[in-house]
Structure 1
Amino acid sequence: MDNISRRSLISAGLGAGLVAAWPGAAVAVSTADDAGLRTDPFLLGIASGEPWPDGFVIWTRLALDPIAEDGLGGMPTRQVPVAWEVAEDAAMRTVVARGVEQARIETAHSVHVELKGLRPGREYFYRFRTGRHVSAVGRTLTSPAPHETPAALAMAFASCSQYEHGYFTAYTRLAQDHPDLVLHLGDYMYEYKKDSYVIGGGNPRDHQGPETSSLAGYRQRHAQYKSDADLQAAHAIAPWLVVWDDHEVDNNWADEIPENRDAAQLNDTTERFRQRRAAAFQAYYENMPLRASSVPAGFDMKIYRTIQWGQLANFHMMDTRQYRDDQLAGDGWRKNVAERLAEDRTITGAEQEKWLLDGFKNSTQRWDILGQQVFFAEKDRNQAPEIDDVSMDGWDGYAASRRRITQGWVDANVRNAVVLTGDVHRNWANDLKVDYKDPASPVVGSELVCTSITSTGNGSGSTTDPVMAWNPHLKFYNDNRGYVNTKITKDALSADFRVLDYVTTPGSPVSTKASFQLQDGVPGLQARG
């Protein structure tokens, strides 16, 4: 670190600064003129993400009125300087890097700072300041050096937080469990207008604004979610790796195809849906701690990437929406749709599939973990062997694509393959096979499916689903809300399914519904505890 230059390396695009750290950071300023902001502009909290061995991204977005209809958070039209600091201690006494970024109206006064030059495998703390206003302090980490195998990694993952369906208590409980890394697997926000997606008993909270379709609408909705104190607590505790699913844009969208052709929601033509997608992607980047490599280019935005955790794990973060073929026969469950088996069907697109297969071939890590969106294992709702009844929106609707990915990690001799999944608002734990129709086909990996943070409301608490009787690779089911905690070591990956008693009122306690363990080099789930 002593040889690192003191000059700042400013990267292009949407105000993201790539900054080298240096001992003491003596030449940088620690405050910034607030351009006359009279009230606290840090109402959307702070976040970090994308850890690498010598840095990470830190993020904030200024807002004085988060739910302003124009999506600009009640901020002035001028740019506002925002100072940032990174320290080795929570009291921010030992500062190792500091600087100033400009929060601009063109990017909804969001700030992304990409840190470089820090030490690998370390805990750091950060905060922002503009004038007399100072943000909360966040905790983050750098990943280990590429050649190192850390003793353990505490990683939590979550998905599906529908604001209207309940309180985000699960995010606070996740933060209280003190993970070192958080994966969010999609449906971070929902696009619906108020009361168009209603749970039994009625929604306890309301969405602001119409269904999101414009840039102003997506910005407003993200700001409403980011204003939630529980969500802010989870962002402040650890770095996040994020990927979207469908609701960040439009329910069940597929590439350039919306759920429904609807002129009122910019969905009536391909070009108008591209405009909607571009608006959604712009707002997503503005509100997430992503690198400049994910800056949108119109209606395209690359979010698939691999983050290495030393020699312990690869996190292959995937995108199963932007490049997929359209769902067959509608988006839901369908019987005996032969086209789903077609060899040319893809849920990843050719380029992303090659990236993932090459990643398997080049992996030297103990665990190769796929962070992705939709149900991966086969789940047939019909018991009759001659009839299959499967979801066209999950990997069952793209069976050849699933087989190529699974066979790819088998052929590459991946040591331990684990798929992490969101989307379905239920907990599942599944063994994975190349051929689910052959009872003798070996288990070659495992899938852990997290339930929702709030989506569909409180849940029944059930641990029984009848389909498990004729899908023996499906090992666990639960209908509660919550998240999953994992502990990853070189010898094992353990997973605790953490559940809440209720979400329609705040403050639920959390408990562990079930625990599983994966042993290094031994495919398949083992119940624990």
Structure 2
Amino acid sequence: MPATARRRFLVGGAAAVGAAAAGPLAASGSVRAATRPLPEGLFTLGVASGDPLPDGVVLWTRLAPDPLAGGGMPDRAVDVEWQVAEDSAFRRIARSGTATAEPAYGHSVHVDVRGLRAHRDHWYRFRAGGELSPVGRTRTAPHPLASGGRLRLALASCQNWQQGYFSAYADMAEQDVDAVLFTGDYIYESGPSATAVRRHEGTGEPYSLIQYRNRYAQYRSDPDLARMHASAPWIVTFDDHEVDNDFAGGIPQDPDKQSPEAFALRLAAAYQAYYEHMPVRATAVPDGPHIRMHRGLDFGRLARLQVLDTRQYRSDQATSEEAARRPWMTMLGAEQKEWLINGLRRSPARWNLIGSQIMMAETDLLPGDGKRWYYDAWDGYQAERNELLGVLADVRNPVVLTGDRHLTMVADLKRDFADPSSPVVGAEFVGCSISSNGDQEQATFHAEWDPRLPDNPHWKLVDARRGYHLFDIDRDGIDARLRVVDTVRRPAAAARTGARLRVVDGRPGVEVV
């Protein structure tokens, strides 16, 4: 990273939440840091928090003085001190300790802090080598028995560095969200393009661990993304581009070019780099080409969020309607499907949210008679999708939150999409994208998609602008706003509400306001 860009990142990250140098952390130092000096500029990648609980949260940073060249750290473990406070000046310290940044995990730090007060803002920071990190702010979840209140949740996905700036996060950081749900495509594995808005680092696609580390480091250098990570806890899962476009389980996009053994090594590298750069718990430490990402989080009795992994356990994608209807085709795998269904059926929550990387509602791409499905999504897994829709019919207020499509697609979920009279069982919000697909030409988009609307009457809104969804959830309903930016071709852009929608308690489906 150039020195000017590094300075901009450090200054911007600190200013976002107000870096404080007072308190015990600023005055103390670890033995290792004191006796064996470290390079300068350790916290170029900022700080983050994630997976909030009523009494805790995961804190993250990674020591990387030379972030685009593997990190630039010496090959030894480093002690990193951390603090969590109940005020931004760090006068009321809630928890503190020391973590070890290991070279085997890219000198990343994941601190699973417990013993915090429920539903409160907390501020946190790290210290290593005599340097203080930027300060982050996080928020714990409500008490498990809390039934009222409000949850403000942002839904984001699909941030392609080369196709635009991440300016939507500047608006998101002003919204005081309780958490961000990111449903996949945090990085893109494509090689650098000379005609891109911003050029990918490296010389081609990443395959090795150091190459994936460098790609994540480049994405985390975006100042708006860094600011948002330091502003609220994130709940993340991955889709395909964190590894390889449209991969399925252990099958790459191009099996004729990547052998099973080579792709297993690529999976292991990609999953480890993902863990190293995400604020997730130790349950997500990869085991070679395997990683556990599906998990559930409760926000009192107001909302339960179950986060899926729709890549790692799926059958290879279908290529025909007949194949898509095969009963053994699975998106989730047996264990994850059972976990999801049990979590839904036993949920005490008023709102049951599902974080799915790919779209669950039907997409018929063929105007007129016949069907042409999008097989990479749930349309390619008809039997399992229909089974889940049957479960949703008996669940209170199911709402699916999705990414992948680079479009806003808000839809009713039908019990049986093959039957036009089938009842509505839930709602789905498909996120647009932070930058992927860039600034689409609107007339061209409508010429392609408007003819498909009559064949997809369950679609309530289709939009091609960049941005994110913002949800205000309370006992009576979900008020949803589509927040869009004017352009992603410039580092800064105006944001506004592009559409308003509502889901009402006890009334399946979604309404355009």
- TM-score of the superposed pair, with normalisation by structure 1: 0.89
The separation in 2 between residues aligned to 1:123 and 1:115, in whole angstroms, is 14
2:507 aligns with 522
Larger helix share, 1 or 2 = 2
2:338 aligns with 354
2:25/2:83 contact within 8 Å kept: no
Query: Which one of 347, 368, 372 corresponds to residue 363 of structure 1?
Result: 347
Once the two structures are TM-superposed, the CA of residue 312 in structure 1 deviates from its matched residue by 0.6
Query: Which one of 493, 501, 511 corresponds to residue 478 of structure 2?
Result: 493
The residue matched to 2:67 in structure 1 has which SS? coil
2:89 aligns with 91
Match for 1:273: what amino acid? F
Equivalence map 1:140-151=2 (5 Å): 140-151=138-149
Gaps of 5+ in 1: 1-24, 330-335
Q: CA RMSD of the aligned region, Å?
A: 1.8
1:30/1:98 contact within 8 Å kept: no
2:300 aligns with 310
Once the two structures are TM-superposed, the CA of residue 131 in structure 1 deviates from its matched residue by 3.3
Query: Which one of 390, 394, 399 corresponds to residue 377 of structure 2?
Result: 394
The separation in 1 between residues aligned to 2:82 and 2:249, in whole angstroms, is 37
Equivalence map 1:2-21=2 (5 Å): none
The separation in 1 between residues aligned to 2:220 and 2:120, in whole angstroms, is 27
Q: Deviations over 1:158-217 (max 9, x none)?
A: 00011111111112221122211000000000111112xx8xxx3111111121111111
Equivalence map 1:143-182=2 (5 Å): 143-182=141-180
Percent of aligned pairs with the same amino acid: 44
The separation in 2 between residues aligned to 1:388 and 1:38, in whole angstroms, is 59
Query: Which one of 197, 207, 222 corresponds to residue 204 of structure 1?
Result: 197
The residue matched to 2:124 in structure 1 has which SS? strand
Query: Which one of 251, 256, 259 corresponds to residue 250 of structure 2?
Result: 256
Match for 2:299: what amino acid? W
1:128 aligns with 126
Once the two structures are TM-superposed, the CA of residue 31 in structure 1 deviates from its matched residue by 3.6
Give the count of matched residue pairs. Answer: 483
2:158/2:434 contact within 8 Å kept: yes
Q: Deviations over 1:130-181 (max 9, x none)?
A: 1331111111111111111241011001000111111111122211222110
The separation in 1 between residues aligned to 2:139 and 2:164, in whole angstroms, is 30
Query: Which one of 414, 429, 436 corresponds to residue 395 of structure 2?
Result: 414
Query: Which one of 245, 267, 274 corresponds to residue 284 of structure 1?
Result: 274
The residue matched to 2:141 in structure 1 has which SS? coil
The separation in 2 between residues aligned to 1:524 and 1:59, in whole angstroms, is 37
The separation in 2 between residues aligned to 1:417 and 1:308, in whole angstroms, is 14
The separation in 1 between residues aligned to 2:351 and 2:511, in whole angstroms, is 17
Q: Deviations over 1:344-368 (max 9, x none)?
A: 1111111111111111111110111
Match for 2:59: what amino acid? I
Once the two structures are TM-superposed, the CA of residue 379 in structure 1 deviates from its matched residue by 1.0
Equivalence map 1:86-125=2 (5 Å): 86-125=84-123
Q: Deviations over 1:378-410 (max 9, x none)?
A: 11122333x211111011011111111111122
Equivalence map 1:6-45=2 (5 Å): 31-32=29-30, 34=33, 35-45=36-46
> 2:461 matched to 1:476?
yes
> 2:485 matched to 1:504?
no
The separation in 1 between residues aligned to 2:511 and 2:460, in whole angstroms, is 9
Change (3 A) 1:140 1:461: farther
1:28/1:98 contact within 8 Å kept: no
Once the two structures are TM-superposed, the CA of residue 506 in structure 1 deviates from its matched residue by 1.3
The residue matched to 2:332 in structure 1 has which SS? coil
Match for 2:325: what amino acid? L
Query: Which one of 231, 234, 237 corresponds to residue 240 of structure 1?
Result: 234
The separation in 2 between residues aligned to 1:490 and 1:150, in whole angstroms, is 6
1:300 aligns with 290
1:144/1:150 contact within 8 Å kept: no
Change (3 A) 1:226 1:471: same
1:274 aligns with 264
The separation in 1 between residues aligned to 2:226 and 2:242, in whole angstroms, is 18
1:316/1:370 contact within 8 Å kept: yes
